[in-house]
Amino acid sequence: MTTVEGPDFFGNSSPLSAFKPLQAMDSALFEREYGRWFLVVHLAPGSDRAGQSLTVSDPGGTHAGTVIRVFALKRRQEGMFDYVSIGRHPDNDVHIPDPTVSRFHCFVRLDDDGVRLQDAGSSGGTFVDNQPVAVRRKGPPTLVKDGAAVRIGGVEAALASASSLQALL
């Protein structure tokens, strides 16, 4: 997927509208092309994150007035690690340029049961349904279910499977 840049740029995410043409795509093909799991970030209209004004919205849609950004939870490149990294630093697989997100904030492992989330020792914490997740090496990762509310620092999001994302469209 191509990262959208310009006034609606937010890390390596894409606006929800970028997925609209894919609404009718076969779900298996959608998963192969774009991934199985997504982090859907909801921002207030006109929010200013990392000095960039976000103007993407869904006018007249079910999410009217809300800025929605979609991050695919997948590795950008093959490497020695078996997790997806999330953080403010651009080297993360999921780059969220928000001052409340630590440089290397949390890790996601994808397995047959779903998504497992673990904090990397961030300053702002990582939460699933308002419950803190364990810090790496200090407890087990948290299994995150489809549709769960996720907070990374001060960034509110939801976990969505490919089928749930297609249903949003």
State the pLDDT at residue 74. Answer: 77
State the pLDDT at residue 19. Answer: 67
State the pLDDT at residue 33. Answer: 77
pTM here is: 0.76
Helix (H, G, I), strand (E, B) or coil at 167: helix
State the pLDDT at residue 113. Answer: 81
Low-confidence ranges of the chain (pLDDT < 70): 1-13, 15-17, 19-23, 42-67, 76-81, 168-169
What's the CA gap between 103 and 122, in Å, rounded?
8
Query: Are 168 and 22 in contact, with CB atoms under 8 Å apart?
Result: no
For residue 20, what are the CA distances in angstroms to 23, 24, 64? Answer: 5, 9, 15
State the pLDDT at residue 76. Answer: 67
What's the CA gap between 147 and 167, in Å, rounded?
12
